[in-house]
Structure formats: structure tokens, C-alpha cells
Structure 1
């Protein structure tokens, strides 16, 4: 008797095989002796790297500077993994301080940065807060004031306009979770930046449109919530077309890495591409530091296949967590997150 499997049954079987592969990567690469992928342990490791349990810092020429952007990436990772809620609350309290907040988004008068304002507004919403009152600042109103007639969200600063695909995408994602929703012109402008191959560039209006993995991963998530599913689908097809055989992604001709793969994986699952997501997840699982490593490093995600680097691991881990869980920015919520910072339990 010939048994004919429906394409849905075949899809389920393939998903099962890929999921099994995720659980059987080599012992040195997997996060525990049992071989299981632990996004919660990755987020737990990330939480323990926060300075004073509240922030990340960047060191330049021996001086420590606040890194609000990476701190917010950690907040998203905690929500995605459903852990480290205490750390997420402390991080948001720190980044909402007037001096720290304004050093990131600008004072609203002489400087106002669209991407930073949008990213902070989204993080506040993910944490269950009110983005219209962050230390007395209405982030939503400020963000809307930065939208140009063409629909682009641009910086207002004497230093120049640094807005890009991330700025526009975070603005759309943040506004999608407000009562007024996304201005139609914002999605239309972003869709109009698409390259001929279907991907999206980091910077618009360049002499040659060059699709960027990270920018496309952000853009397709924003286009979906802006109601532009056809434009998002083009970006998703491009992402699938440039995925490497091992499931990874490379941005700008570099090395396959957790940052780009994490963002792409998040977009792929959010956009309904489960097989491509699972392949990316297998790659990310292979970068997670396991029980053969020093206890302090277990659970972290390495940037690439090289040695563990504590300088690059926090950002790599934050973005890898998003890819491992596959929860899109539009759905992130810390509402049910547990308070602690899980660790890998090794035999």
C-alpha cells in the first residue's frame, strides 16, 4: 500500500527532524550535557553581566559610558525568554532616569533621536509601562513629531540625521502598540525603500540599493504590523534566499554570526517561515556556551564560531535569544516573566 503524506504532515515531520537536530549538536557547543537549547539560561547569563544589575556600559579609551541601546536589547531578551524580570525592571528604572534617558533620546529641544525614542517607547510598552509618561516625557508624542510629511521618522539634531531602517522599524513597532496605531505613510515610506532583489537596505536612497540582513529582519516585522504583508513577504523571501546551508546569516560579507542570525530567525518565525527559523535556531544553538566551559560563561552565546569573547557576547546573546524563541517585537511582553536569572545545570 502506498501511503501519501499531505504537505502539512511533511512539514510537521521536517519540523520534528530539525527540532531533534537542535537537541543533538556537539557537546562542546551545546549548553548542557543533556544537549538542550536554553534560551532562559542565555537570558540568565545576560542578566548577570549587567553592571550593578541595571545597565550595560561601553568602554572607550579607558572610560565607561552608558550603553542604553544594549541595555534595552537585554530588556527585550528577558521578555522573550520569560525570565530575569527583576533585572528588566532595574534596567528600565535606570534607562528612564532623566540624565540617562536624555543622553540617549535627546532633550527634545536641541536634540531628538527617532530610533532611540522609538526603541525606548517599545521597551516601556513591553514592560507594561506607559510610553506617554516616562519621567514626565511623552515618548509617543515626541516620536510622532519626528515624522516627516513623506512618512520617514528622522532625527532632529545639529549633529545630523542618523535615522535608518532600524529607526523607522522601531517607530512603526512602537506605534503599533498605541491607541492611534501606525500612520499609513510610515509603512508606505519603509516599503518604498525595497531593493530590486526583495530585501531592504540599512540606509535609503543610496546610489546602489544593497539589501542588508539585519535591516531586512527589522523591516519585515515592521511592515507586517503596518499592514503591508506583500512588502514583508518579499523581504522574507530574500532572507530565505540568502540563508546559508548551516542555517546562519552573514551581513555585509562577514562571518556567520549570532547577531544577524538571531534577528533573521526572529523575523522568519514571526513571518511564518518555520523551517528556515528552525535551521537558524540550530546554528544559534551551536554557539551557546555549554558545560565544558567555565561556569561563569555557561549559557552565553558566542558571536561566531571562534573563541568566547566577553566583549561581544552580551550583544550576541541578547539578539540570539530573540532568534531562539522567535517571538517578534510586536508580541513581546514581560507580563509573565519569572524574576530570577536561570543558570545551566550541568552534571
Structure 2
């Protein structure tokens, strides 16, 4: 199924290039029973949620549309946990189908989206593929063509430019794996968006610089990959300063959740902050559905520990796996991953 352009852009706005942050807080009840740190079980649960074993979908106005972005997030989660390699292969094969790929990336002429291009490039690299030859498309060349003279990676579209800190960071992380590396201006541009307190905003050049946990977590990993450790350290220090006493991190609505905490935890371990990572990981473990949960939900990671919300469960689990393992984007690889999707062992 090919997503029409207008719907594609609307869904991009709703879901974001990386992962949509859920801002609705469910009615709170007792949290799911805590389990031992089991990112493999979380990734295994996630693999079993793939539609037709190959993709995720998003529902809009009662209609289900393919969601390549979330599907790629799952590919990263499978690599981080080192499991579900067969589902990961099917998922990437689905995203790189020409009809799905071109609906996600744009046609490359009248429309081309930096974040989507960077994300797919990185996923192909993580899976050990050649991003310069993806069904006849050179993703690296297209990605580099979207860099503006000031270093920012921007979208080319009549529908507007949706590029932000996520797309810039993903572009840097993808290009860091290429032979020619990251253009210095790319790291300079991202570093230049930093707020006075050290955090990074989603969007640059706002009247008031408002740092964001998710954007900062991705930015610090990209800045380290771009050879700018001092700029990354400022972001890591800010993350530590806003970590809650329970180890969690909040989104823009002030809700401590698995999405923000997962990304922050990943950045903290990758950036050499093991104690802060351990606290964040403990928060995530407390959100994982254990053996007291419904069998079909065991292993999944809830968004915020309230009433289990299945509309947010897939997205929460993808990013929670990154935090539970602490494997940074620069180090993600599918090499040696187990082909199967494990379950949470319960008696």
C-alpha cells in the first residue's frame, strides 16, 4: 500500500521523524509488576506485534496506514537486544520495497525528507547492508544532497521543511559510518543549537530555547560521533540534572515515560554515565509487564506505568529496549543477533 503524499506528511507531523511522543496521560493505576532487566523479552514481544510479520501501522481517522518510521525503530531495538534477527530482516525488506520506500523518503526530486533518509540509511548500515545500493538508490548521496551550506540537513518539499534536531542527529550518525565521515559543518550546526543550560531543543532558533530530553539524548550521541565531545558533555550534564529521583525522564508534558527515559538511558550509558544509566534502567524495568500480566503483554514496556495503553505500547517498547541495553546508536549492529523472538520466562 502506498501512502499518498498529503497523508504521508500529515502522519509525519503526528508521529515525528524519530518517534512520536505521547502527551496524553492515562488514568493511573498500580504499575505492572516489575521484572528483571529483560530487553530480549521486550524485543521479542515487539517482534510478535509486527503486522504480517513485517511492519507496524498507525491508525488515523479509523484507517490503518503503514508506519515505516516505527518499523525502523523496531529494527534498531532488535539489534540493540541482539534478538529477532529474522523479523528485523523482514521489516527492513518491507521498508526498502520501492513503493514503501519512496512514499517514506519522497521521490528525491520534488520531495526528499532528511530525517527519513537518514533513518533508513542508518538502519541499512546497522543490518550490515550497503546504503549506496538500496534497490538502485544511493541513500548516502541523497542524504548529502540535502545538506544546506550552513550544515543543516533540510527537507525538500512543497509541503514544508520538517527537519529538526532528530533529523540532524540521525544524518550525522549515518554519515559517521561512511568512509568520508561527517561533514564538519553538520556537527557545528547541531552544536550551535544548544540552549544556555546545556540541553538541546527539538527546533532551533526559537524565541526561547527550550531543551528537550529526547532531542538531547539523540544529539549527544551524534555529537560524539561527529568528534565534538565537549558539546556532547554539556548535553549529558543537562540530562543528569533533569533526571528524576526515581530514575525516569519526562516529556514536554511533564510525564515520566518509557520513550524519553529509554533514549536518555541509551545516551547516558553511551556517554559514560553508568550510575545515571542504571537509575534510568531501573525505572524502565519497573514499567515492563511481568509474569503477573496478561500473557500476550508479557515483556512489553508500558508508557508510564498507568493503565496499560496499547496505543502507545509499541512505541514505548522500541525506545525502552534501547535504554535497557544502553547500546548507543553508533555501536548498534545486527551481527550475531539471534534469529528468534524470545518470550518472558514465566512458570
TM-score, normalised relative to structure 1: 0.90
Q: Distance in 2 between matches of 1:237 and 1:320?
A: 21
Task: Render the CA deviation track for 1:43-73: whole Å, top value 9, x for unaligned.
Answer: 0000000000000001111211110000000
Please say which structure displays the higher CA radius of gyration.
1
Q: Distance in 2 between matches of 1:59 and 1:318?
A: 18
1:138-287 counterparts in 2 under 5 A?
138-287=138-287
Aligned partners of 1:28 and 1:291 also within 8 Å? no
Match in the other structure for 1:17: none
**What secondary structure does 1:311 align onto?**
helix
Task: Render the CA deviation track for 1:225-249: whole Å, top value 9, x for unaligned.
Answer: 1000000000000000000000000
Match in the other structure for 1:49: 49
Q: Distance in 2 between matches of 1:255 and 1:151?
A: 33
Give 5+ residue unaligned stretches, structure 2: 1-29
Q: Per-residue deviation at 1:27?
A: 10
Task: Render the CA deviation track for 1:302-328: whole Å, top value 9, x for unaligned.
Answer: 000201111101010000000000000
Q: Per-residue deviation at 1:338?
A: 0.4
Q: Which runs of 4+ in 1 moved over 3 A?
A: none
Match in the other structure for 2:300: 300
Segment of structure 1 superposing worse, 300-309 or 233-242:
300-309
Match in the other structure for 1:4: none
Give 5+ residue unaligned stretches, structure 1: 1-25
Q: Distance in 2 between matches of 1:208 and 1:281?
A: 31
Match in the other structure for 2:19: none
**What secondary structure does 1:74 align onto?**
helix
Aligned partners of 1:29 and 1:285 also within 8 Å? no
Q: Per-residue deviation at 1:254?
A: 2.2
TM-score, normalised relative to structure 2: 0.90
Match in the other structure for 1:22: none
Q: Per-residue deviation at 1:29?
A: 2.1
Aligned partners of 2:73 and 2:318 also within 8 Å? yes
* Closer, same or farther: CA 298–201 of 1 in aligned 2, 3 Å: same
Corresponding pairs, count: 318
**What secondary structure does 1:64 align onto?**
strand
